[in-house]
């Protein structure tokens, strides 16, 4: 491969230690002598290396900016007083300043450069070049993005460049009108991302997802915060939407099915395709018996983050003293049953995962088409501790399309694309509560897996059903492999009246949240599909 010249990016005096390093080389670099602080990788008993990411162990949405220019000003869904989101505008002037900070940090250094694809579909994939200072950051993106073939690397022309200056700070952030010394900024026109003062790998992964969420729907392709799998013949695709920690990775990793991907997908006329080349699983309290596939994926080349590891390499998955958002990234082929090419025909089943901290939602509801749109736009769930800074306990939230933090266009755009694809392919939707019920405990993974099995096998369509008041949810009254007494959430309370009180409160929250969609006829028409007081 021709030697990479970084001066084209304004980075001078730097040595590229490795351009597209092998796993061998990554291991050697991240465990070599002389590394300091959070650069240090520690080998663990499972063969995977563990790293600590410093103060930032989750994303930093308050520090996310999009450059507002001629192209983006009328397309991006900007934060506003009426509807706050994480798309904070940045002027071109400030962009040049933060980019200069990043470039200065990357000058006269030893750097790693990794080229990867975002998107399994060759026609619409984005070729991304990551320029980083820390060896394990190169390892993280090697795990998470689609690894080009040797031939593709020869001809690699980046569509997008990421400058990771995690060691730098925006000292004059106040003068620049920014929120803190940390900055995660995107320029959708020059197609660049700048990261300053956070080491959390999720900023690179979810950053490129945000960009796919910008470019793809503008081309008529659905871009979705969901996991996906299919049957062993590569058919009967199912997708699982959900905010962080609701079970996308856990539930899509299913020994009976082939994994397409665990977090970010597109849906075009050919079907569903993964954006990524790896998975990023939560490992807090990871249990070998109940999640063997994820556990077995943790071996050499997987990269653990913020996990407690003793000097002899022994792992304590139960320890959350650093963060609850302990993670492992691994290339997708660490899972045995994967769908070749990471794409499959159009989805037949669409599952919305919601971790309800109030204990109101049934563990599974069969949605009507109007309810599908209503609950997709509402995106009700709980933010679980750790993935975002400042969230320390399950916090109820309405996260549009189950991924508001990553939406660059208005939520209705994503809903339209999803509905178009679902209608064309006769797909059905289900709302699955992976959170709490009246027992005060989280619904067991075992019961949730039973529910998912019943959806995927079609058993749920044969089950007797009843309607749940206020929400008018159709729920099964019995399902094979699932504890019958949890199917109607009222039965999990000592008195049904306790459920009713909480349900009224939640219904009112839904109604209040949905008001922002009712300024047009389409939105108004959906109100009837939502909860009624």
Which residues of the shown chain bind ligand ADP in the complex (CB under 6 A)?
242, 244-251, 262, 281-282, 284, 434, 442-445, 448
- Output 230 or 281, the one with its CB closest to ligand ADP: 281
Considering the complex, what minimum distance in angstroms separates the CB of residue 203 from Mn ion?
15
Across the beta sheet with 278-282, the strand order is: 41-43, 49-51, 303-305, 327-331, 278-282
Q: Is 86 annotated as a binding residue?
A: no
d(CA 160, CA 525): 40
Q: Is 198 annotated as a binding residue?
A: no
- Output 247 or 438, the one with its CB closest to ligand PEP: 247
Does residue 474 sit in helix, strand or coil?
Answer: strand
* Cα angle 435, 297, 318; round to 5: 50
Q: Per CB under 6 A, which of residues 193..212 are in contact with ligand PEP?
A: 202, 206
Q: Is 477 annotated as a binding residue?
A: no
d(CA 302, CA 143): 7
Q: Is 245 annotated as a binding residue?
A: yes
Considering the complex, what minimum distance in angstroms separates the CB of residue 447 from ligand ADP?
7
- Output 129 or 206, the one with its CB closest to ligand ADP: 206
Q: Which residues are catalytic?
A: 59, 206, 225, 244, 248-249, 263, 327
Residues that bind Mn ion (CB under 5 A): 248-249, 263
d(CA 313, CA 46): 8
With a CB cutoff of 8 Å and minimum separation 6, the contacts of 42 are 31, 49, 50, 51, 309, 313
Specify whether the CB–CB gap between 26 and 16 falls below 8 A: no
- Tell me whether strands 192-196 and 160-165 are parallel, antiparallel or unpaired: parallel
| DSSP H helical ranges for 345-470 | 369-378, 411-424, 445-457, 459-462
523 binds ligand PEP (CB under 6 A): no
Considering the complex, what minimum distance in angstroms separates the CB of residue 153 from ligand PEP?
26
Q: Per CB under 6 A, which of residues 395..424 are in contact with ligand PEP?
A: none
> Which one among 59, 125, 265, 410 touches ligand PEP, defined by CB under 6 A?
59
447 binds ligand PEP (CB under 6 A): no
Q: Which does 206 bind (CB under 5 to 8 A by kind): ligand PEP, Mn ion, ligand ADP, none?
A: ligand PEP
- Output 188 or 378, the one with its CB closest to ligand ADP: 378
- Output 87 or 329, the one with its CB closest to Mn ion: 329
d(CA 247, CA 348): 19
- Tell me whether strands 237-242 and 347-354 are parallel, antiparallel or unpaired: parallel
> Which one among 133, 263, 291, 488 touches ligand PEP, defined by CB under 6 A?
263
d(CA 267, CA 365): 24
Considering the complex, what minimum distance in angstroms separates the CB of residue 363 from ligand ADP?
8
- Output 355 or 468, the one with its CB closest to Mn ion: 355
Q: Is 248 annotated as a binding residue?
A: yes
Q: Is 125 annotated as a binding residue?
A: no
List the structure tokens of 283: 């490992």
Considering the complex, what minimum distance in angstroms separates the CB of residue 46 from Mn ion?
19
In the chain, the largest separation of any two C-alpha atoms, in whole Å, equals: 71
Considering the complex, what minimum distance in angstroms separates the CB of residue 355 from ligand ADP?
8
d(CA 12, CA 109): 9
d(CA 36, CA 44): 18
Positions at the binding site for ATP: 206, 225, 242-250, 291, 327, 442-443, 448
Positions at the binding site: 59, 200, 206, 225, 242-250, 263, 291, 327, 442-443, 448
- Interface residues with ligand PEP (CB under 6 A) are 59, 202, 206, 244-245, 263, 280, 387
């Amino acid at each position: 491969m021709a030697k990479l010249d970084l001066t084209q990016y304004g980075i001078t005096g730097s040595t590229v230690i490795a351009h597209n390093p092998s796993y061998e080389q990554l291991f050697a670099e991240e465990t070599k002598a002389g590394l300091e602080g959070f650069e240090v990788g520690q080998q663990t008993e499972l063969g995977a290396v563990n790293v600590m990411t410093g103060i930032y162990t989750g994303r930093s949405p308050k520090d996310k900016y999009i450059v507002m220019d001629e192209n983006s000003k009328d397309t991006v869904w900007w934060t506003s007083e009426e509807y706050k989101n994480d798309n904070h505008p940045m002027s071109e002037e400030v962009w040049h300043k933060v980019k200069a900070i990043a470039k200065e940090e990357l000058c006269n250094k030893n750097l790693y450069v990794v080229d990867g694809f975002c998107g399994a579909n060759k026609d619409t994939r984005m070729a991304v070049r990551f320029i980083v200072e820390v060896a394990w950051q190169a390892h993280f993106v090697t795990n998470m993005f689609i690894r080009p073939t040797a031939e593709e690397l020869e001809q690699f022309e980046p569509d997008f460049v990421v400058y990771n200056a995690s060691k730098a700070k925006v000292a004059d952030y106040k003068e620049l009108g920014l929120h803190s010394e940390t900055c995660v900024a995107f320029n959708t026109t020059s197609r660049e991302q700048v990261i300053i003062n956070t080491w959390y790998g999720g900023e690179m992964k979810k950053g490129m997802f945000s960009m796919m969420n910008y470019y793809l729907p503008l081309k008529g392709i659905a871009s979705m915060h969901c996991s996906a799998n299919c049957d062993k013949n590569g058919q009967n695709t199912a997708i699982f939407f959900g905010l962080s920690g609701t079970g996308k990775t856990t539930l899509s990793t299913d020994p009976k099915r082939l994994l397409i991907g665990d977090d970010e997908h597109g849906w075009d006329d050919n079907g569903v395709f993964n954006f990524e080349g790896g998975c990023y699983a939560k490992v807090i309290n990871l249990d070998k018996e109940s999640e063997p596939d994820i556990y077995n994926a943790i071996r050499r080349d997987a990269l653990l983050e913020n996990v407690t590891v003793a000097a002899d390499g022994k792992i304590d998955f139960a320890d959350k003293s650093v963060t609850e958002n302990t993670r492992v990234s691994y290339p997708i082929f660490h899972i045995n049953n994967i769908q070749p090419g990471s794409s499959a025909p159009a989805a037949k089943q669409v599952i919305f995962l919601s971790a309800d901290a109030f204990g109101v939602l049934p563990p599974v509801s069969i949605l009507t088409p109007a309810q599908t749109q209503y609950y997709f736009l509402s995106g009700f769930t709980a933010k679980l501790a750790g993935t975002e800074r400042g969230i320390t306990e399950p916090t109820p939230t309405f996260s549009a399309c189950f991924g508001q933090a990553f939406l660059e266009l208005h939520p209705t755009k994503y809903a339209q694309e999803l509905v178009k694809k679902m209608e064309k392919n006769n797909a059905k939707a289900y709302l699955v509560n992976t959170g709490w019920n009246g027992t005060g405990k989280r619904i067991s993974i075992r019961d949730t897996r039973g529910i998912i099995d019943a959806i995927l096998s079609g058993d749920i369509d044969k089950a007797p059903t009843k309607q749940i008041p206020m929400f008018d949810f159709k729920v099964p009254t019995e399902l094979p492999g699932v504890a019958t007494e949890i199917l109607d959430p009222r039965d999990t309370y000592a008195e049904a009246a306790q459920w009713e009180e909480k349900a009224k409160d939640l219904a009112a929250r839904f109604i209040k949240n949905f008001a922002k969609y009712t300024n047009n006829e389409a939105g108004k028409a959906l109100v009837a599909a939502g909860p009624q007081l």
